[in-house]
Structure 1
Amino acid sequence: MKRELVLASGSPRREALLRGLGLQFDVLRPQVDEVYDAQWPPGKIVRELARMKARWGAARRPRALVIGADTLVVVDRRILGKPSSPDEAVHMLMELQGRAHTVYSGVAVIDAVTGREETGFRATEVRMRPFSQDRAKAYVKTGEPMDKAGAYAIQGVGALLIDSISGDFWTVVGLPLGLLDGLLQTFDVGLFPDF
């Protein structure tokens, strides 16, 4: 029997990734307070925030297998979330330019029927090219950075700011597909198409 699949996420990128794999699922945009203990390491933060979103979805879709995800950017042990203004986006980009930072993406899958939960996270190092404040301002004017952790999208125009990555590209996009597939397989569901 096919399981009802739900993505508990407000991210159009995560939705597009899963749709690109040919999956059929519903999307719920979770209304959760993304509060966490500041002492937690980044991997735990993204796992717990992903779990909160998945639990929110599971409470609303009691027969579904629910996916939640969260992403953080960390530089100098400081977390950069989504910018609250264009000025903050420019400031974030100037902090990241010409150096490396780490992107953490967490995933949670919850079986709403049984309450079983599986979580995990991946971390990827990203090195940005050096660029001027004018270039950062021009990028921010595209609007692309405003709903993204760290104020850039590696899969969009922001790719022009990237020098290199070490790790999983999809972690930087916000949904490590290999990790998600592994978690879903523990529920006898996978992302790989049936042949």
Structure 2
Amino acid sequence: MRELVLASSSPYRRELLQRLHLPFCSAAPEIDETAVRGESPQAMVRRLSLAKAQALGAAHPDALIIGSDQCAVLDARIIGKPGNHAAAVAQLRAASGRSMYVHTGLCLLDSASGAHQLDVVSYDVRFRTLDDAEIETYLALERPYDCAGSVKSEGLGASLLEHMRGDDPSALIGLPLIRLSTMLRAVGVAVPPPATLHTAVGTSS
């Protein structure tokens, strides 16, 4: 099997990719993630997913490189990771009783040929009406300050929601495994892998 590289320093994405039982390494891509004026959220996550994968191409010239990027959208405005408590409170107050749309871009790049596959998996995340006490309790327990829109749906964040509508629950955590598995099979990588393939934990480089 060719080298598989995850272009991310996110522990969430590493944990997700480990679920496929494929050996891989990970490294943080150095790119400018500034939004382009007039760019749609879906176009932005597609562009950044490809840019992240391409950023590691020189260091891994004969590899399959996975890039992914995510954003949340409320009122047609892109919402990023809150970074701190006050920003998370503001995000959740704004989302209370409303729908937030989460777009996760995915790229699988063959660094030897430059060929790549790109896609976006989107989710409609509907919040129930929240009071400040619930928001404070959730933030104290989960501290989702590195999650787009302050939503940690795989944890206590699920208790804040009325519904989630989309095709791949792993996309909400940061890496769409259903779509990635399809991409990998398209380039000859067996998923699930054969029993003889060593399972790696995902090392950083």
Is the partner of 1:193 in helix, strand or coil?
coil
Is the partner of 2:57 in helix, strand or coil?
helix
Higher relative contact order (CA 8 A, sep 6+): 2
Q: Distance in 1 between matches of 2:161 and 2:22?
A: 30
Q: Distance in 2 between matches of 1:163 and 1:41?
A: 26
How far 1:143 moved relative to its partner? 5.0
6-15 vs 177-186, which moves further = 177-186
122-131 vs 132-141, which moves further = 132-141
TM-score, normalized by length of structure 1?
A: 0.92
Q: Distance in 2 between matches of 1:161 and 1:191?
A: 34
Q: Distance in 2 between matches of 1:140 and 1:186?
A: 40
Q: What amino acid is the match of 1:159?
A: A
Q: What amino acid is the match of 1:7?
A: L
Is the partner of 2:149 in helix, strand or coil?
helix
How far 1:93 moved relative to its partner? 0.9
User: Closer, same or farther in 2 for the Cα pair 1:152/1:112, shift >3 Å?
Assistant: same
TM-score, normalized by length of structure 2?
A: 0.88
Q: Which residue of 1 aligns with 2:181?
A: 181
How far 1:30 moved relative to its partner? 1.7
Kindly report which structure 2 residues correspond to 1:123-162, keeping only aligned pairs within 5 A, or say none: 123-142=122-141, 144-162=143-161
Q: What amino acid is the match of 2:187?
A: F
How far 1:75 moved relative to its partner? 1.1
**Structure 2 stretches lacking a partner, 5+ long:** 196-205
Q: Is 2:34 the counterpart of 1:29?
A: no
Q: What amino acid is the match of 1:172?
A: L
Large movers: runs of 4+ above 3 Å: none
Aligned residues: 194
134-143 vs 168-177, which moves further = 134-143
Asked if structure 2 preserves the Cα contact closer than 8 Å seen for 1:182 and 1:190, the reply is no
Q: What amino acid is the match of 1:154?
A: S
Q: What amino acid is the match of 2:75?
A: D
Asked if structure 1 preserves the Cα contact closer than 8 Å seen for 2:16 and 2:170, the reply is no
Asked if structure 2 preserves the Cα contact closer than 8 Å seen for 1:144 and 1:152, the reply is no
- Per-residue Cα deviation, 1:44-88 (whole angstroms, up to 9, x for no partner): 111111111111122221121100001111111011101132101
Asked if structure 1 preserves the Cα contact closer than 8 Å seen for 2:142 and 2:156, the reply is no
183-192 vs 96-105, which moves further = 183-192
User: Closer, same or farther in 2 for the Cα pair 1:125/1:111, shift >3 Å?
Assistant: same
Q: What amino acid is the match of 1:173?
A: I
